[in-house]
Amino acid sequence: MKYIMLAYTDPAAWENATPEEIQAACDFYETLGKELMESGEAVYNAGLGDPSHTKTIRKQASGPVATDGPYAEAKEVLVSFGIVDCESHDRALAIAARVVDFTGDTVEVRPVMDGDGGAEM
């Protein structure tokens, strides 16, 4: 079963992170990525660019319109995401808990819908 993990962080904390903290976070993700690759659970993961690069597109009367933001005053911004394929929901939560424990980020875990039809009734 595949799960997506969406990690959110406080933009101020991100802004004010020391180089050592950034390095530690990179090391953590490298180790975790390696572990998930070795366990055969990694599907994809990536960190995201600075929130200042974000554009949001919304449908308006005139059609889709792009605006800047979400803005820096947002309490939490999406900072990275990953998809894992693992045996159980509990396992996905355990992986997310490690991220939370180390980074202090908030992590949302949700199952990814698949195209399979399920069994007959």
Partner 1 sequence: MTVSTGVRVEDLLRELAPRVLGALVRRYGHFDAAEDAVQEALIAAALQWPKEGIPDSPRGWLITVASRRMTNQLRSEQARRRREDTAATQIPLDQYLAPAPDVARDADSDDTLILLFLCCHPALTPASQIALTLRAVGGLTTEAIARAFLVPEATMAQRISRAKQRIKASGIPFRMPPEKERADRLHAVLHVLYLIFNEGYTATSGAALQRTELSGEAIRLARFVHRLLPDNGEVAGLLALMLLTDARRPARTGSDGAPIPLAEQDRSRWNRDAIAEGTALITDALARTGIGPYRLQAAIAAVHDESAHADETDWPQILALYQLLERLTDNPMVTLNHAVAEAMVRGPQAGLALLDTVDADDRMAQHHRLDAVRGHLLEMAGENDAAIALYRTAARRTTSLPERRHLEARAARLAVDDR
Binds partner 1 (CB under 8 A): choice among 7, 41, 99, 105: 41
Question: What tokens appear for 92 in the block?
Answer: 């996905």
Q: State how far the Cα of 27 lies from the Cα of 57, in Å rounded to an integer.
A: 34
The 72-101 site mask, x for binding partner 1 (CB under 8 A), equals -------------x-x--------------
Q: Work out how close the CB of 1 gets to partner 1 at its nearest, in angstroms, rounded to a whole number.
A: 7
Q: State how far the Cα of 85 lies from the Cα of 71, in Å rounded to an integer.
A: 33
Q: State how far the Cα of 105 lies from the Cα of 18, in Å rounded to an integer.
A: 16
Binding site for partner 1 (CB under 8 A): 1-2, 37-44, 85, 87, 111-121
